[in-house]
Amino acid sequence: MDNSPLILLAAGGTGGHLFPAEALAVELIRRGFRVRLVTDARALRYSGLFSKDMIDVVPSETVRSRTPWSLARTAVTLASGIVTAVILMRRLKPAAIIGFGGYPTVPPLIAARLVGIPSIIHDANAVLGRANRFLSRYVRAIATSLPGVLDRDPALAGKTTTVGTPMRPAILAAAAVTYAPPDRNGPFRLLVVGGSQGARVMADVVPGAIERLEPALWSRLILTQQVREEDMTRVRAVYDRLKINAELAPFFTDLPARLASNHLVVSRSGAGTVAELAAIGRPSILVPLPGAIDQDQFANAGVLAKVNGALRIPQTEFTPDRLASEISAFAAEPERLAAMAEAARSVGRLDAADRLADLVAKVAGI
């Protein structure tokens, strides 16, 4: 039986939460720790380090409506999740647990507090997420990806350490690829990604923008775009008509390598995306997801925009005309793209997994 210390990683079942957890797990395993993932059922769809026998699913729910019935259902699910997590903690006896955000982290971290297990939260955004904001009073330490996130809250700032966002090995490999700006008359590689909540707006805007480019740029363009299945036919029709060299897919399994191989990226500005663009050092046009209560994507994009590593365009201004103008300007100014790549890289952190693992070991007393 393996008696090495066990660290539980709690994360919501989306890539933005799971990828940093996986990156930390790689480092912890390298140091001789055992790891398990506590999450919701969505995580079972993800391949990677966490096989199904390393995952514990705990019931959880977020507040989706203020109706009495919905609130009651959420309360019952959370209570069930906390009971399940308490039983899990007592059975596994972890040395510590670290939460990476998302509502599925609430029951296990509350259970850890009840059982007396040391706990940490990590937040990759420039603004603390709602689940982490709720849990922040109950954990022993807070790790942030970006500096200054909690400067206005002295009670929390005292237990906060800035570590960066842990990066998967594929991102670290991509970060080793030096940025090569396009030749003025050579191929111009453009990558467009949107994620689950962003691909629709990209399908609505990007084809029209490409159509508005000068024909001379059409022949130079090598376009890679994430497109939902339901948008594929209409998007492909535009590019086929223009004879654009375009690769379209709903999902790219090798996205880190594609980030590294393109000259310009058009994307949403989720925390993971921004951290990866900074780590790899690639220029980007970022379109924050609108409507978020805490405007986290707008703040995330601002981190790169502030150092001139990215151009931030609010969705209300993200039109085919505006995007065509910006792409044309970038294609004509390779030296500007090179400067943006260097600026983005200046705020990237490649040692975040190591720094966060140090904090975990410290809090666990190991």
Which residue in this structure is represented by tokens 């603004």?
Answer: 127
Domain 172-346 sits in which CATH superfamily? Glycogen Phosphorylase B; (3.40.50.2000)
User: Residue 196 pLDDT > 60, yes or no?
Assistant: no
Question: What residue spans define the domains of the chain?
Answer: 6-166+350-364, 172-346
For residue 198, is pLDDT > 60?
no
Average pLDDT, the chain: 92
Instruction: Provide the 3-class DSSP secondary structure of residue 175.
Output: helix
Phi, psi (degrees; rounded to nearest 5) at 254: -110, 40
Q: Are 140 and 361 in contact (CB under 8 A)?
A: no
Under CATH, which number does the domain 6-166+350-364 receive? 3.40.50.2000
With beta carbons less than 8 A apart as the criterion, state whether 287 and 305 touch.
no
The separation between CA 153 and the C-alpha centre of its own chain, rounded to angstroms, equals: 24
pTM listed for this prediction: 0.86
Average pLDDT (288-317) is 91
The pLDDT value recorded for residue 264 is 98
Residue 248 has pLDDT above 80, yes or no: yes
Of 31-35, 38-42, 200-204, 229-233, the range with the lowest mean pLDDT is: 38-42
pLDDT in tens, 130-151: 899 999 999 999 999 988 889 8
Pairing of strands 96-99, 264-267: unpaired
Q: What average pLDDT score do residues 220-227 get?
A: 97
**Do the domains 6-166+350-364 and 172-346 sit in the same CATH topology, yes or no?**
yes
The closest alpha carbon to 261, from 281, 231, 237, belongs to 281
Tell me which of 20 and 75 has the higher pLDDT: 20
Q: Model confidence over 39-67: pLDDT tens digits?
A: 987 766 666 788 888 999 998 877 666 78
